[in-house]
Chain A
């Protein structure tokens, strides 16, 4: 596995609110021999405004793809929403000649042209499974998290729409479980694992998403998971940052620490909790350290 390098697409929400995901991902990937190149002049992936202006979404995503084509590097994203949007546009523009012509008509205004077929877009866990490989990850574990029982939440965009994502089985996903097991921790099954966290509708309704996330936290607590592992900044915000709100709304106490997958892997690789930015989590995760 020589020379794995990517252009890092950070997106908007990670530098805004979820820096612990970025910090832990960078450290873990570096130790796994993955080189991340900073993506110059990137803009929002376009996904947040797809519902109100599809053309603008296409063009915003295409501009990012052009930046990657200029660097001749594949894109790595930590946010599955960004990965999904960029992958969908990358593929749509390659498959639909008329659409590509129309988008390139807009891009011409800024001296850019989407060529297509030159670069790929990977989400973090896809890169870990398919490019780095589970064996290399297992080899990097020096402090196996034996005895730790966790649950996973893939989120929707990591797996769907399957036509564009093409990773894992959206109805019965196993890759995140395999990645968790590579750390030595046990990954527990729970009811309705693939249900949405509720985040996509929080802009238009602030109660339903909290009930949805609350249902999931209840199911996770029912199997006595000590922590929940996520790979999406929006899902993470729902379960971690919003957990106290959910507890107040439902008059229920969950107290489930929510870790980004690279934080869990990093602990197993021997990084300290501080290096993995565990102190930035809303729900206290220090109680896990006595288990590990």
Chain B
């Protein structure tokens, strides 16, 4: 109910924003990505941000439609 009224703790807004912009819930600093490779770990795969934007848009569109009904 709180969420429907727009009462969302900042941390959740930030997590959602991060997912939309990076695919991950946290913005992983470039230095950490470099460091993992230096330590012999495989590079972190990049997600398909285009796909995520389309999914977010589709869900937002469906919610807007439901709101109009």
A interface list, Cβ under 8 A from B: 10, 12-13, 15-17, 19, 22-23, 26, 38-44, 48-49, 51-53, 55-56, 59-60, 63, 105-107, 109-110, 203-204
Q: Does B64 contact A (CB under 8 A)?
A: no
CB < 8 Å: which of B23, B28, B58 contacts A43? B23
- Verify B59–A204 contact, CB threshold 8 A: no
Q: Which residue of A lies closest to B45 (CB)?
A: A40
Q: Which residue of B lies closest to A107 (CB)?
A: B55
The SS class assigned to the A binding surface is: helix
Q: Does B46 contact A (CB under 8 A)?
A: yes
- Verify A59–B55 contact, CB threshold 8 A: yes
- Verify A26–B41 contact, CB threshold 8 A: yes
30 inter-chain pairs at a CB distance below 8 angstroms, sorted by A residue, are A12-B24, A12-B28, A13-B25, A15-B24, A16-B28, A19-B32, A19-B35, A19-B36, A38-B45, A40-B45, A41-B45, A44-B23, A44-B25, A48-B12, A49-B16, A52-B12, A53-B3, A53-B59, A55-B62, A56-B16, A56-B55, A60-B52, A60-B55, A106-B62, A110-B48, A110-B54, A110-B55, A203-B11, A203-B12, A204-B9
Q: Which residue of B lies closest to A22 (CB)?
A: B41
**CB of B38, distance to nearest CB on chain A (Å):** 11
Per-residue contact bits, chain B 29-69, to A (CB 8 Å; 1 contact, 0 not): 00011011001011011111001101111110011000000
- Verify B44–A15 contact, CB threshold 8 A: yes
Given contacts A16-B28, A51-B12, A109-B54, whether A60 and B45 have CB atoms under 8 Å apart is no
In the complex, A17→B55 CA distance in Å?
Answer: 27
- Verify B47–A43 contact, CB threshold 8 A: yes
* Chain B residues, Cβ within 8 Å of A15: 24, 28, 32-33, 36, 44
Q: Which residue of B lies closest to A112 (CB)?
A: B51
In the complex, A107→B48 CA distance in Å?
Answer: 13
In the complex, A17→B11 CA distance in Å?
Answer: 17
Q: Which residue of A lies closest to B19 (CB)?
A: A44
CB < 8 Å: which of B28, B44, B59 contacts A56? B59
* Chain B residues, Cβ within 8 Å of A17: 26
- Verify B58–A106 contact, CB threshold 8 A: yes
* Chain A residues, Cβ within 8 Å of B28: 12, 15-16
Q: Which residue of B lies closest to A64 (CB)?
A: B47
The 7 closest A-B pairs by CB, nearest first: A203-B11, A12-B24, A12-B25, A110-B51, A43-B23, A16-B26, A43-B47
* Chain B residues, Cβ within 8 Å of A12: 24-26, 28
- Verify A109–B58 contact, CB threshold 8 A: yes
**CB of B23, distance to nearest CB on chain A (Å):** 4
In the complex, A22→B26 CA distance in Å?
Answer: 17
- Verify B51–A63 contact, CB threshold 8 A: yes
* Chain B residues, Cβ within 8 Å of A16: 24, 26, 28, 32
In the complex, A158→B62 CA distance in Å?
Answer: 33
* Chain B residues, Cβ within 8 Å of A105: 58
- Verify A59–B59 contact, CB threshold 8 A: yes
* Chain B residues, Cβ within 8 Å of A59: 55, 59
**CB of B29, distance to nearest CB on chain A (Å):** 9
**CB of A65, distance to nearest CB on chain B (Å):** 14
* Chain A residues, Cβ within 8 Å of B41: 19, 22-23, 26
- Verify B11–A41 contact, CB threshold 8 A: no
* Chain A residues, Cβ within 8 Å of B59: 53, 55-56, 59, 106
